[in-house]
């Protein structure tokens, strides 16, 4: 059975997006390397410039993740990834109101869960099989952490202070949470940090 892990690019002051969900500065490191990597979001191709460390990290995640668990807000902000996430894996969306245009769409990669975080994680694990579940979205990550369902946290720490925006770790309600360092990798414009959640 794989792990349940969240991964985010984050500013030094704890924001995963700036005002109005602007992610340009927290993702700037993905365009500072010397290796061309093309990713697809729906039908749109995006050309990244990663370092060898960034390429290794992306390829490792792509091979290890079997499903993604997302909150509805992230699903909406991402525009449902144009119908295809860059990792091209099934996505479980935790929501109170499933969007009917995706529920009834043939071949949709989305499964909508309305009965809580435990059920959503269980569904994502079932879909992922022996692979990992990647958790996306600040709120759903906090819910997983609070419920004791999160195994790992990956932070791509960007040397910028945004001052405001969307915080990842805000009002969890179970502080303190002990973390064990699994890895620290320096990269161009970013430091990749990996932690295990101590339970």
Looking at the DSSP assignment, which residues form a beta bridge with residue 32?
none
- Percentage of the chain lying above the pLDDT 90 cut: 74
Structure tokens at 93: 């969306």
Query: pLDDT tens digits, residue range 21-72?
Result: 999 999 999 999 999 999 888 788 889 999 988 888 888 888 999 999 999 9
Is the pLDDT at 130 greater than 80, yes or no? yes
Is the pLDDT at 174 greater than 80, yes or no? no
Query: What span, in angstroms and rounded, lies between the C-alpha atoms of 10 and 168?
Result: 8
Query: What span, in angstroms and rounded, lies between the C-alpha atoms of 70 and 91?
Result: 7
- Percentage of the chain lying above the pLDDT 70 cut: 100
Q: Which domain holds residue 57?
A: 4-197
Confidence (pLDDT) at 197: 97
Q: At 115, which CATH number?
A: 3.40.430.10
What angle do helix axes 117-128 and 138-146 make, rounded to 10 degrees?
A: 100
CA quadruple 13, 170, 115, 21: dihedral sign: negative
Total domains in the chain come to: 1
Confidence (pLDDT) at 14: 95
Is the pLDDT at 132 greater than 80, yes or no? yes
Q: Which of 30, 27, 7, 6 is nearest to 17 (CA)?
A: 27
Q: What's the whole-number average pLDDT of the chain?
A: 92
């Amino acid at each position: 059975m794989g792990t349940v892990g969240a991964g985010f690019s984050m500013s030094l002051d704890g924001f995963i997006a700036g005002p109005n969900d602007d992610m340009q500065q927290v993702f700037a490191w993905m365009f500072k390397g010397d290796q061309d990597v093309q990713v697809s979001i729906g039908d749109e191709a995006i050309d990244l410039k990663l370092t060898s460390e960034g390429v290794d990290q992306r390829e490792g995640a792509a091979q290890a993740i079997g499903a993604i668990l997302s909150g509805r807000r992230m699903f909406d902000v991402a525009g449902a990834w144009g119908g295809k996430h860059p990792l091209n894996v099934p996505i479980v969306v935790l929501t109170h109101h499933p969007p009917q245009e995706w529920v009834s769409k043939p071949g949709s990669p989305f499964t909508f869960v309305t009965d809580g975080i435990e059920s959503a994680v269980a569904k994502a694990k079932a879909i992922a099989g022996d692979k990992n579940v990647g958790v996306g979205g600040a709120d759903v990550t906090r819910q997983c952490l609070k419920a004791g369902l999160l195994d790992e946290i990956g932070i791509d720490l960007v040397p910028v202070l945004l001052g405001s925006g969307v915080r990842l770790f805000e009002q969890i309600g179970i502080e303190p949470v002990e973390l064990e360092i699994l890895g620290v990798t320096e990269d161009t414009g970013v430091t990749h940090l990996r932690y295990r959640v101590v339970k």
